[in-house]
Amino acid sequence: MGGGRRTVTDPQTVTIVAHATPAGRAALALVRLSGPDSAAIAARIFARARGAPLVDGRPMLGTLLDRGGAPIDQAVLTLHRAPHTVTGEDVAEITLHGSPVIVRETLAACVLAGARPAAPGEFTLRALRAGKIDLAQAEAVRDLVEAATVEQARIAARQLGGEVSAAIAPLAEGIFELLADVEAGLDFSDGEEALALAGAEVAGRAERLAAQIDALAGASEPARRVREGARVVLLGPTNSGKSSIFNKLIGYGRVIVTPEPGTTRDLIEEQLVLEGLPIVLVDAAGVGEPGGQAEAEGMRRALAAAESAHLVLEVYDLSRPERPVGPPGAHRLRVGTHADLPPAGPPAQGTVAVSPLTGEGMTALRAVIAEQLHAPGARPLESVALATERHLAAALEARDALVAAAGQARAGEGAELLAIDLRRAVHALREILGEVGPEALLERIFARFCIGK
Amino acid sequence: MGGGRRTVTDPQTVTIVAHATPAGRAALALVRLSGPDSAAIAARIFARARGAPLVDGRPMLGTLLDRGGAPIDQAVLTLHRAPHTVTGEDVAEITLHGSPVIVRETLAACVLAGARPAAPGEFTLRALRAGKIDLAQAEAVRDLVEAATVEQARIAARQLGGEVSAAIAPLAEGIFELLADVEAGLDFSDGEEALALAGAEVAGRAERLAAQIDALAGASEPARRVREGARVVLLGPTNSGKSSIFNKLIGYGRVIVTPEPGTTRDLIEEQLVLEGLPIVLVDAAGVGEPGGQAEAEGMRRALAAAESAHLVLEVYDLSRPERPVGPPGAHRLRVGTHADLPPAGPPAQGTVAVSPLTGEGMTALRAVIAEQLHAPGARPLESVALATERHLAAALEARDALVAAAGQARAGEGAELLAIDLRRAVHALREILGEVGPEALLERIFARFCIGK
């Protein structure tokens, strides 16, 4: 801490400026200032029409001045006074014409008048530090902007609306109350490690809280999948036609397809969206008798990828006698290729028959994949509280700590040990909202923001 | 007219919507509505925080709703009521997070709620029709956004500030008064074509007005050059090194340079900026004995390009005995190449000696070019009233009409004929401000706007 990141040490004293809208030519652009000198800097670069004074909270028409004081645009300035602003600081918003040269000149004029160019995410970081939003909401701002699908944007919008805090804060409070009760035992036994509550009661409360976290994680699973995407792996014998299905699914020829077996050795990944669900489609090496060390490594990777996939497409050739082994499972889907050729026998149970060559069955395959992955379609998502990997990991750490505390309570351990686990659980949940946590966490999160946010 | 362009027939009844900021990801984006239903449409897609009612003129925080009514972003809405708005109509401005999917969804929601996607330049056209700006200001909006240099932006900002109207309106008024006086003669002589004023007085007044237009055109020449750019043509014998100078000036290898003579046959154009002045640099075929029909055509084009250039660089090879013919002129600059080789003799008078190979003399050449072209540097521009070709052409038409009127007055022609020329002069000046003129003119001008303006 301390000095490594300027934004951490000077939020209240330095005024920052940034272009808030994308680079390029358009009707309008937005430049924002935040900090104590926002109004003074704005007054230096903006002359109100007919010399009227600047007033707060209302858009004002006027002339934007360049570094030399010459008019460079007609613009609208809106001043917002602390503390009821997006950053909690004085904020000036300038709406100007969407010209790259005018934006550049305006930023330069602001810097000459005393502003500092904002670091990535610095506006949002200031909002966080001012208590305007919590960390989950700050992350939602980033997710909103980066959303690739409208479903992802909807999840981020709900997180920005405070749903994460609404779900997490009561859980943290519940654990904190249990911790207080346990520590009360500590207090009045004066370090003697006697429990004020019966061990079974502590264990029961901790287990109920752990179960609530599990339930929340489960309710957030569809949203998490929409946000993080699902991994779908194509698995099958060499030359069964996996790459052709892959290409047909992604809609263009990303992978080299040849009639020679063993062409695909590395994992090839492409992204696509099926009914609102982003999918990472993985084409892996064929599985069978390896022709050499490289092929053996390819097969090892293919099997490992299938192991961690949300869905495995077990591809086999309908025109050849081999059939997939093992029963169809919840995360397995049998796909028979070469449906345009004479079949070598009846298809295996539950097979989706396709021909990438003629297109036969491909629409059905997309639909079955979407169904198997619970693509959101129009269904509302139950919870978005643990939709991000960071939130889920923190919640599961809290859950594990609660389970550990329950185990210790049932084993008759004293308050001291229980309190350590319960504190760990509270801490983990509060990290989600950014109430605790090292600067390093913030730095890691805000480094992914773009300038102007 | 009439129906060919929807914007012409429905400005007061249809509400339009457009994304006003550039496409792309950033902190923020702006979507604008204009028209009678702006507030109603905004109310359909925007839920104010804590259900508070929408109020005018103040930015309001709330939730943006998608087509299904689900929250998709937290946004700021500002309603502006007619007539004191940018278009003269009700306007709603929505500042949302800069996410392409959210912008797209918001536009779709607005259209579903009754808005029509705006045509290019339609916001500005509505401002023009409402009398909020004149045509020269509307053009300045376009020029501001398209400005390639800060100097061009400054000119557009001055035009947007009303300088064109301030210069043109009094001239139009002066001509109109003269016309009224001339027509008074028509009135009271009851068609007898007698002049109420002496012919010499009419001629004198018309000539003074014509001189004022000429003076304005001259005062606008530097601004016009900054706006339109200057054409600089490289002219010289084949293989004198023109293309090497061209490449060095533009700073990268745009043109194929070979030691064989006659490589450059077509005109090659590139843009560069010297001290704030945009320049179109033209590399032309070598002039000399043509080797064939194609080369002869190339030379013809080279000479024609030199004829219309603002500056001709007469390139010759210092290491060979040829020297440029003719005296150096105001629009001619002698450039001697191969300054790194032993000279064949003393350079011609006024030669700038350069070697594109070693870079010798290139900085001096740039400075001399800028000086010859009166690059603006830090000097203020006297007038921007006739900085565009359209404005200049209209003004010169008015000037010609005034000169014609003066000639006829001195020749003793009657009021009827004089009035025709004076009306033509008034009309031409009013076209600059868009006070008169066919729809076709507007369509041509606004077709160059981008959506959202």
Q: Which of B118, B133, B148 marks a domain boundary?
A: B133
Chain A CB contacts of B71 under 8 Å are 154, 157-158, 161
Helix (H, G, I), strand (E, B) or coil at A5: coil
Question: What's the distance, CA A430 to chain centroid?
Answer: 18
- For residue A126, being part of any structural domain is answered with yes
Q: Please, are residues B181 and B196 in contact by the beta-carbon 8 Å criterion? A: yes
Subunit contact B30:A22, Cβ cutoff 8 A: no
pLDDT in tens, B272-311: 888 778 888 888 877 777 667 777 777 888 888 888 888 9
Q: Mean pLDDT for chain A?
A: 84
Report the CATH number that the domain containing residue A58 is assigned in CATH: 3.30.1360.120
pLDDT over 90, % of chain B: 46
The answer to whether the CB atoms of A101 and B73 lie below 8 A apart is: no
pLDDT at residue B418 tops 60? yes
SS (H, E, C) A289-300: CCCCHHHHHHHH
pLDDT in tens, A59-99: 999 999 998 888 999 999 999 999 999 999 999 999 999 99
Residues A102-117: tens digit of each pLDDT = 999 999 999 999 999 9
The whole-angstrom distance between residue B393's C-alpha and the CA centroid of its chain comes to 13
Q: Are A187 and A261 in a shared domain? A: yes
| Same structural domain, A192 and A261 | yes
CA–CA min distance A298, chain B (Å)? 38
Mean pLDDT of chain B: 84
Contact A226, A147 (CB under 8 A): no
Query: Taking the CA atoms of chain B, what radius of gyration do you get in angstroms?
Result: 29
Contact B73, A160 (CB under 8 A): yes
My answer on whether A123 and A159 are in the same domain is: no
Q: Is A2 exposed, middle or buried (0-12, 13-18, 19+ CB in 10 A)?
A: exposed
User: Residue B446 domain-assigned?
Assistant: no
Q: How far is B97 from chain A (nearest CA, A)?
A: 6
Q: Is A95 an interface residue toward B (CB < 8 Å)? A: yes
pLDDT in tens, A328-343: 666 889 999 999 989 8
With contact defined as beta carbons under 8 Å apart, do A149 and A278 qualify? Answer: yes
- In 3D space, the residue among B33, B139, B170 whose CA is nearest the CA of residue B388 turns out to be B139
**Is residue A18 domain-shared with residue A44, that is, in the same domain?**
yes
B positions 359-418 inside 8 Å of A (CB): 378, 380
Asked if A422 and A186 count as a contact pair (C-beta separation under 8 A), the reply is no
Whole domain around residue A39: which residue ranges? 5-133
Which of the four pLDDT bands, split at 50, 70 and 90, describes residue A196?
low
Last residue of one domain, picked from the residues B112, B133, B154 = B133
SS3 A19: strand
CA atoms within 13 A on the CB side of B241: 21
Question: Do B164 and B129 have their domain in common?
Answer: no
> How many structural domains are present in chain B?
2
Show residues of chain A in contact with B27, CB under 8 Å: 18, 20-21, 32, 123, 145, 450, 452-453
Confidence at residue B230, expressed as pLDDT on a 0 to 100 scale: 85
- Which of B82, B101, B133 is the last residue before a domain boundary? B133
- Report whether B297 contacts B283 (CB < 8 A): no
Q: How confident is the model at residue B1 (pLDDT cuts 50, 70, 90)?
A: very low
pLDDT over 90 (residue B106):
yes
Q: Is B66–A154 a contact, with Cβ atoms under 8 angstroms apart?
A: yes
B361 falls within a domain = yes
Return d(Cα B348, Cα B370) in angstroms, integer: 21
Q: How far apart are CA A195 and CA A307, in angstroms?
A: 45
In which element (H, E) is residue A33 found? strand A26-34
Q: Do B145 and A26 touch (CB under 8 A)?
A: yes
**CA-only gyration radius of chain A, Å:** 29
Nearest-CB residue to B26 (from A22, A99, A149): A22
Determine the average pLDDT of the residues in B41-54. 86
Residue with tokens 């358009």: A26
Whether residues B146 and B81 share a domain: the answer is no
B192 shares a domain with B124 = no
Based on the fold, state whether residues B31 and B67 are members of the same structural domain.
Answer: yes
Asked whether B434 and B128 are in contact (CB, 8 A), the reply is yes
DSSP string for residues in B32-72: EEESTTHHHHHHHHEEEGGGPPP-BSS-EEEEEE-TTS-EE
Q: Say if residues A61 and A46 touch (Cβ distance below 8 Å).
A: no
